Structure 1
Amino acid sequence: MARLNGKATRIAVFSLVIIGLIFFLSNTSGPTYVQSVNKTKSNDANVVDQSQKSSVNGLFPDGRENATFVSLARNEDLWELVSAIRSVEDRFNVKYKYDWVFLNNEPFNDEFKTVMKTLVSGEAKFGVIPKEHWSYPEWISQEKAAQTRHDMKNIIYGSSESYRHMCRYESGFFYRHPLMLNYKYYWRVEPSTLLHCDVNFDVFKFMRENNKDYAFTITIHEFVDTIKTLWQTTKDFIKENPEVIAKDNLEKFVSNDGMESYNLCHYWTNFEVANMDFWRGEAYSKYFEYLDKNGGFFYERWGDAPVHSIAASLFLPQDRVHYFKEIGYFHGPYHNCPIEDSVREENKCMCKPNDDFTWKDYSCTRLYHDVKGLQKPKGWEKHTG
């Protein structure tokens, strides 16, 4: 072997170092490496990512929880969604780098995909909703549905056809999308929303370690004219399927008279964190199919919020439902703004406590605390009305 001179030796050593570094990175699954890879790729296919499917019921190889953010959006929602995602990334996801799934009933354009891939710290995945999930099922009369929209033109979203498709999709299909089958937990984010506070813990890890299946920040009463037959349809379903009712549930959150009537309380689903095993399970699957065949998504204006809320309150034990008091959140016109000084300081909350909706009369969170026997924060009485 020929002897190397000093310069050649240095070049050889440097080359070996570079080769070793490349080998090390190629076998590393830590967050830094995952982020660098994720920035260069996206998933537009409606197929399950086989590399992640094996981890659906456990942690991913890099230690993250088996979870994703999900946003249902149109191309024209881009800039309203950008501000919402920027808020979540800055306040939470920059520390954890969870993936983001974007779903649309039409293909996303290049601008949308480019902006989102740049914006999110995890992997951005883009999926098209199957036509059969965003159209009229065969048992629905489109003439009757059109008449309903005409008759409800003076009710919020009452005349909207696309809104009904959205509510039906969020109620029964988003968690079945091939891209979502990679995951167990999700955090839903919508355009024009905002986080007021830093989130200083892994929300998904909290859900798993504490056996939580559904979590929320804001509650509210539904418009009765949009769901005139939803409760009776629910009671009919329960009569035929009594086994779906969980012991020690939150019945008293949704009914004040022993299930005779619905009190209209629901979790506001523009923010929700949940375990999709619940939606994919037998009880909820049978419930959604029953509701869907009844036709109320089109013949009335059933929203995914009361549907999710009734199911979570009745089909889950109450200790599996959780209120995130420390996650300051806004979706116009309502705020979940922590009123406790210690919570505000610890989480750097930037919202006015007087704007908090939690303890107002139109909110149902006070009732939630009463039903679960939870202690209310000091001074909550000053924020009622």
Structure 2
Amino acid sequence: MKKLKPQQQKKKQEVKVLQLQEYKYNPTSPEDSMLNGTDVIVYLAQFGQHSTYGEQTITGASKLKKSLDTLYAHYLNDFPCDVIVFFGADNEPDPVLFKRLQTGRPRLYFRQLNGKYWELPHGLRAEDKWRWTLPGYSIGYRHMIRWYAYLIWPYLTSLGYTHVMRMDDDSYIHSSIKYNMFDYMRQNNKRYGFRQPCMDSTGEEALTKVILSHLENDPTSVPREQLDDFNKLRYLGFYNNWFIADMSFFLEPPVSTLSIDYYESKIILDQNDLLIQSVLVRLFLNPVQVKWFDDFTYEHITDHGRNRPRNAAPFIRGFEFYF
């Protein structure tokens, strides 16, 4: 592959920034522009049987209700912020259910993702799914990957938010959090926070090709020491069913350049957002800007037997930078 000259590399980065801007969200109703503050907690929920894990999960709104109960009881009642529950275009809106869930839970909103936020990239067809890597994973699951790996940052930023925390509808906070986590991030110059490390190698081979291509064109974008540490334990990552982040990190070159390279290569549809997000943080963020939150009890469980990321507790030696 021909190496880009500095001027060409700068032009490429400018193009990538414009591509990200295409995914900004333009509010279409007064309610969209009435969201409060700069901090938001997001869910991407399914209101029926899980499209990949099926009947082995809690179905309907019961798991989301339980998650919201624990979130409000142990955090939001003391440190309120906006909460947006997103759902895909393959779920019909249910105003009665939404109203019931909003009762007693201030600043809770529901948003459907459709159009460019819930469709396959150009050139891919749903009927060809069985030829993709890991064909057992549904189209909806792959839309979720694309959302958390790429689309969420420009969407939320266009609404005026600067920081985001992710929850899943089968994620639960079981102990009280005694401080405002968003304020902690800002006051301590942290740009990414995680709760649990994990080991996951899904799609690593294709991922490596994109990384090598990026480094060939922009070899100084990753500090040598961080690249060496990354290569020693390449499968080590962040179990991003819960994370908190300063979104500007993901919208600035060189991070935005590499994330769009993922998207354009379409490998985003045959691996996972966990690996993509972990790679970007480990390569481009100084470890002192990453926080391991270990002072609250968190549960995330999908009861199934497929390729689950392994708990990385035995590999803590690779995460000593984040203590």
Provide TM-score, normalisation by structure 2. Answer: 0.76
Structure-2 residue corresponding to 1:79:
62
- Cα root mean square deviation, aligned: 2.8
Q: Evaluate the alpha carbon distance shift between residue 305 and residue 50 of structure 1 in structure 2; reply closer, same or farther with a 3 A threshold.
A: same
Are residues 1:67 and 2:39 paired?
Answer: yes
Counterpart in the other structure of 1:327: 296
Q: After superposition, give the CA deviation of every residue in 1:303-347 in whole Å (9 maximum; x if it has no partner).
A: 11110111011111111111011022111279xxxxxxxxxxxxx
Residue 139 of structure 1 aligns to a residue whose secondary structure is: coil
Instruction: Give the SS at the match of 2:84.
Output: strand
Change (3 A) 1:241 1:213: same
Is 1:213 the equivalent of 2:187? Answer: no
Q: CA deviation at 1:119?
A: 4.5
Distance verdict in 2 for CA 1:373–1:84, change over 3 Å = closer
Deviates more, 1:277-286 or 1:186-195: 277-286
Larger Rg: 1
- State the shift of 1:274 in Å: 0.5
Deviation per residue, 1:138-185 (Å, 9 max, x gap): 133656543125xx35xxxx4422211110111001222268632111
Q: Which residue of the other structure, out of 193, 202, 210, is the alignment partner of 2:180?
A: 202
Equivalent residue for 2:149, pick from 155, 159, 171: 171
1:177-219 CA distance string (max 9 Å, x none): 2686321111111012111321001101000000101000111
Aligned-pair CA distance for 1:47: 7.8
CA offsets, 1:221-249, max 9 Å, x none? 1144x433112211211222334325764
Larger RCO, structure (CA 8 Å, separation 6 or more): 2
Distance 1:110-1:201 versus aligned 2 partners, 3 A rule? same
Q: Post-superposition shift, 1:373? A: 7.7
| Among 246, 249, 255, the residue aligned to 1:275 | 246
Which blocks of at least 5 consecutive residues in structure 1 are unaligned? Answer: 1-42, 53-59, 61-65, 257-261, 335-356, 375-385
Going from structure 1 to structure 2, the CA distance change for 1:359 and 1:164 (only over 3 Å counts) comes to closer
Alignment of 1:141-180 (within 5 A): 144-148=128-132, 152-153=134-135, 158-177=136-155
Q: TM-score, normalised by structure 1?
A: 0.65
Q: Which deviates more from structure 2 when the two are superposed, residues 227-236 or residues 92-101?
A: 227-236
Gapped regions of structure 2 (runs ≥ 5): 1-26, 49-59, 304-309
1:255 aligns with 2:231: yes
Percent identity, aligned pairs only, is 17
- 1:133 maps to 2:117: yes
* Contact 2:170 2:302 survives alignment (8 Å): no
